[in-house]
Amino acid sequence: MIDLGDPTPVPVLARQAPRHRPAPRLRPAGRPRTSRARSSRKEGSVVPLHITAVQAMEILDSRSRPTLSVSVGLADGNTARAGVPSGASTGSGEALELRDHDASRYGGAGVRTAVGHVNGEIAAALCGRDFAGLSALDQALIDLDGTPDKSRLGANAIVGVSMAAARAAAGQAGVPLWQGLATDGATARLPVPHFNVLNGGAHAPNPLDFQEFMIAPLGAPGIAEAVRAGSEVYAALRRRLAEAGHTTGLGDEGGFAPDLAEPEEALRVIVQAITDAGYEPGTGGVAIALDPAASEFRQPDGTYRVNGQVLTTSDMITRYRQIVDEFPVWSIEDGLGEDDDTGWAELTGALGERVQLVGDDNFVTNPAIITRAVQDGIANAALIKLNQIGTVTETLHALEVCRKAGYGAMVSHRSGETDDTFIADLAVASGCGRIKSGAPARGERVAKYNRLMEIGHRHPDLPYGLGR
Ligand code: PGA
Ligand code: ZN
């Protein structure tokens, strides 16, 4: 059981935060600062960690860009590895992904600097030390970095260490990762997978401005049946697209990337595919979820450009209302730009009772931002991405904020992924009831769904579904 400690307010990442700050003074080597560590200790519930090794290397992600593989070793002999994900349509408030900017390697996208930070400063600071639990270790990483956006050591370096340490800690406790990630008040459940079957926006070279068209088997009786539905609809969609003369090439998240330009055209063919595969379109069977990723097509003058049309915020809201009226869309993520605050409030007022409205680029998995959004009545759910905030503990805090507020939460992959399946266990542990991990195709996407099926197979007692 991970004790999240006191609900310490997490600093809001300043939008305009300087990317590089002077290095903070390092505390002398030795025991960690104990106040936080002590507050995290809870008899019998926190696994003490003695770190013996921390190592990283540069590997490739699913888009052929460098990322980190990090391993953490514990004194009891447990060692675990983590692969770090990487986004393309990122929110401006995300913790900083450190890249080398050395144009002679990988077009500047190398991560040797971040690898060097893990193998050097982070390893030196952690090895040989005891931590009361994962939250104490994550706090030590945050303190060592010393910046609000983890830009000194790199959020990619820090999140890799945090994920590997969480996995090693579960190994030490002799439990599967999802049980190791358990927190007070959360009840484990298998989430509804949201399969991204049609890609556009920053994830595909087609003219489609909306980024993600997902299918969500809300009506499935269990995770195995949900995965089967996702795969069967995906196959039916391939047939429909091929028959209509479209290319069936894939986008970054494994969904098809046909030459469709209007979002409604894409929705129409997806509904046909759901029916072709023998499922009922809608919340009783297979529903649709959208992630337009609207920040990507918001213009400097505040308008939105969809298939060449210039739309105001209220035009966009009208468009979404028509979409929800016509199609079985149950969830819309990033329907408006990350800085369109008044628009988000209007959108929530207009559609918040009818559909799930998910904040991603505007919330960046930051517990303080989500807390404020809950208070301000912005959206009704948050997307949860480990590398947006940069440690497992802060990610668990974000999930806890959502749970306590009765707000939805959807655990998410990134468009650049590895074979790491951490998010499957995270979704199960939190009981949030929703996950998105791309298409039911391509190894790095399928790995997460297969892990969910494995958990479901081993624990048939775990419930499946949204949970409310
Ligand atoms: P990204 O896209 O990983 O490229 O940021 C995912 C999303 O927008 O949800
Ligand atoms: Zn998104």
Residues with a catalytic annotation lie at: 253, 385
Give the other-Cβ count within 10 Å of 308's Cβ.
Answer: 8
Is residue 69 in contact with ligand 1, taking CB distance under 6 Å? no
396 and 158 Cβ atoms separated by less than 8 Å:
no
Ligand 1 pocket: which of 412, 423, 435 to mutate (most atoms within 8 A of CB): 412
Predicted local confidence at residue 46, as pLDDT: 60
Predicted local confidence at residue 3, as pLDDT: 80
Compute the Cα dihedral for 437, 1, 57, 97 and give only its sign.
Answer: positive
Q: Which residues in the chain come in under a pLDDT of 70?
A: 5-47
415 is in an annotated binding site: yes
Rg (CA), the chain: 21
Predicted local confidence at residue 239, as pLDDT: 98
Distance 272 CA to ligand 2 centre (A): 25
Q: Which long-range contacts (CB under 8 A, 24 or more apart) does 15-18 make?
A: 15/92, 15/93, 17/147, 17/148, 17/149, 17/151
User: Tell me: the pLDDT tens digits for 256-270?
Assistant: 999 999 999 999 999
What is the 8-class DSSP label of residue 86? B
340 is in an annotated binding site: no
Q: Which residues pair with 295 in a beta bridge?
A: none
pTM for the full model? 0.92
Cα distance between residue 369 and residue 364, in whole Å: 8
- Secondary structure string (H, E, C) spanning 180-224: HCCECCCCCCECEEEEEEEECHHHCCCCCCCCEEEEECCCCCCHH
- Selection from 2, 466, 93 nearest residue 295 by Cα: 93
408 by DSSP, 3-state: which?
strand
186 and 399 Cβ atoms separated by less than 8 Å:
yes
User: Tell me: the pLDDT tens digits for 336-346?
Assistant: 999 999 999 99
